[in-house]
Amino acid sequence: LHLLTQKPLAVSVKLARHMVDRAAARGLTLGVFENVRQGLFTRAAGWAVAQGLIGDPQMAVMGSVGGLWSPDRIVADTPWRHQKLLAGGGGSIDIGVHQFHLLRYVFGEVAWVQAVAKTFEPVRRDRDADGNVIATVPANVDDTYFATAGFDNDAVAQLLWSWAGHGEPLEIPGAPAFYGSEGSIRGEQLVSERGIRANVIRYFQEHVSDADRERFFPLSLADPFAIQQLDWLRAIEAGTDPETSGREGLYDLACAFAMLESSQAGRRVTMEEVLDGSVDRYQAEIDAHYGA
């Protein structure tokens, strides 16, 4: 059957590649429900960079520490998220695929990743309205990561995430931010040496071509979920891949697992190593469990 699956596609790169290869061999349409792609900011930022409004890509920054699930809440009341064999990883996989999808769409393909991933809270807890602990679950996946990614075009990105962290949460003002040789996109503010200073979304809406507008927002749809569903159905009809194809999902997942593999190996890892399986120390346990 044709399939539109939620991110992160699979719990290891090897298993994700198996899904992609099987779909291709059977002529089936495999899509990943990664609606970050259809969001207005993503489209606007990607368009602005493609138009050369900030020049050649150089630097990107995104991420935060703490928040709704910090320091030790069971994330989204779903204990499986903290179990390696069920989730693959923690925030690195749950959040990392989204971050890398945005980075890849706006700045281009990732070449390498160097990262540290940690489990600061080995037990996650659920509490009642009075703060009493009513459930606990052991966590054997990361709750925090700090990573640097390098791109094929020599740009570099710094990304981080933590749903640990006691005390006050930390947001990076203006993130996600993208810097180029002629300007920047900081939050939603576009500043270009071409004399442009504007909200990037409004500037995009005012200057995007009719052809691109229809491509990005078919049938004048604005809801990312509706756009992605339509794209997948049209791909089935045409016998092609949707924009957020299984292969796109595979690459996002490989970038996310690259953080965990880098942390295990204590070195920078290339995307080639992660995709071909020559670096898989972290994932080996998962693949062995599922007989991959």
pLDDT in tens, 201-222: 999 999 999 999 999 999 999 9
pLDDT for the residue numbered 135? 96
pLDDT for the residue numbered 254? 99
pLDDT for the residue numbered 260? 99
DSSP string, the chain: --EEEETT--SSHHHHHHHHHHHHHTT--EEEE-TTTTSHHHHHHHHHHHTTTT-SEEEEEEEEE--TTTTTBPGGG-GGGG-HHHHSSSHHHHTHHHHHHHHHHHH--EEEEEEEEE-S-SEEEEE-TTS-EEEEEE--S-SEEEEEEEETTS-EEEEEEES--SSS-EE-TT-SEEEETTEEEETTEEEETTTEEEEHHHHHHHHS-HHHHHHHSGGG---HHHHHHHHHHHHHHHTS--SSBHHHHHHHHHHHHHHHHHHHHTS-EEHHHHHHTSS-TTTHHHHHHTT-
pLDDT in tens, 115-161: 999 999 999 999 999 999 999 999 999 999 999 999 999 999 999 99
Write down all domains in the chain, each with its CATH number in brackets: 3-289 (3.30.360.10)
- pLDDT band with cut points at 50, 70 and 90 for residue 67: very high
pLDDT for the residue numbered 143? 99
pLDDT for the residue numbered 103? 99
